[in-house]
Structure 1
Amino acid sequence: MKFNSLRPILWTDQFEETIEFYTDILGFELGEKNEDWGWASVSRDNVELMFAKPNQHTVFIKPNFTGSFYINVQNVDEIWESLKSDVKICYELETFEWGMREFAIYDNNGFILQFGQEI
């Protein structure tokens, strides 16, 4: 058995704002968007995310994800410099004893996005 990929679906009541945050601030590309379904997908390199408006089948508490999304990157310093003045920072760029250089931000929904590079 093989798992091929993971594509999280983030629920948001700020559908358009979320698409704009990921495309305009983080540089993702909009793949698909279906207004009738309240669903969209974005990607950048090998990272894919989907967004969905809450519907009658879901109990929506914002944000209801208790972890973070960790994105492995190349040149974390460059990404930090390009983002730090345009986003809400969770923690600044730092090198950790476990061999990662990383930082974390909040997206427009309050989800934590960590960006890290192995050193």
Structure 2
Amino acid sequence: MKFTALHPMLYTNALQETIDFYTGILGFTCAERNEEWGWASLHKDEVEIMLAKPNAHIPFSQPTFTGSFYIRTNAVDELWQSLKDKVSVVYAIDNFEWQMREFAIYDNNGYMLQFGQQIESA
């Protein structure tokens, strides 16, 4: 048995605003959207994120997640420069002892997104 992909599903009551954040600020493409389901699929390079309005079977008052979404990139400094003045920053770009250069931001729902690049290739 082999796992082949992970596509997180982020719940939001602000579907259009979330699509706008990911497409307008982060450069994702909205590949598919279903108004009846309250669902959308967003893509950028090898990353896919699904968005959904919570249904009646899911207790939901506001977006919560106890971790973060870590996205590797091959141009972390360039990405930082393009985002830092447009988003809510969790921590600024820096080099870390685990050999990663990274930064973190919040999306429009408060989900934390981290972006990192191995220092050897930075």
Q: Same fold (TM over 0.5)?
A: yes
Q: Give the unaligned 5+ runs of structure 1.
A: none
Gaps spanning 5+ residues in structure 2: where? none
Aligned equivalent of 1:59: 59
After TM superposition, the score normalised by the length of structure 1 is 0.98
Q: Give me the identity figure in percent.
A: 61
Deviation at 1:63, TM superposition (A): 2.2
- Please give the secondary structure, in 1, of the residue aligned with 2:117: strand
2:64 is matched by which residue type in structure 1? N
Match of residue 15 from structure 2: 15
* 1:31 aligned counterpart, secondary structure: strand
Instruction: Find runs of 4+ consecutive structure 1 residues off by over 3 angstroms.
Output: none
Per the alignment, residue 105 of structure 1 pairs with: 105
Question: Given the two structures, how large is their TM-score scaled by the length of structure 2?
Answer: 0.96
Question: How far apart are 1:61 and its partner, in Å?
Answer: 3.4
Superposed counterparts of 1:32-111, under 5 Å: 32-111=32-111
Query: Which secondary structure state, in structure 2, belongs to the residue aligned with residue 116 of structure 1?
Result: strand
Alignment root-mean-square deviation, CA:
0.6
Secondary structure of the residue that 2:51 maps to in structure 1? Answer: strand
- Number of aligned pairs? 119
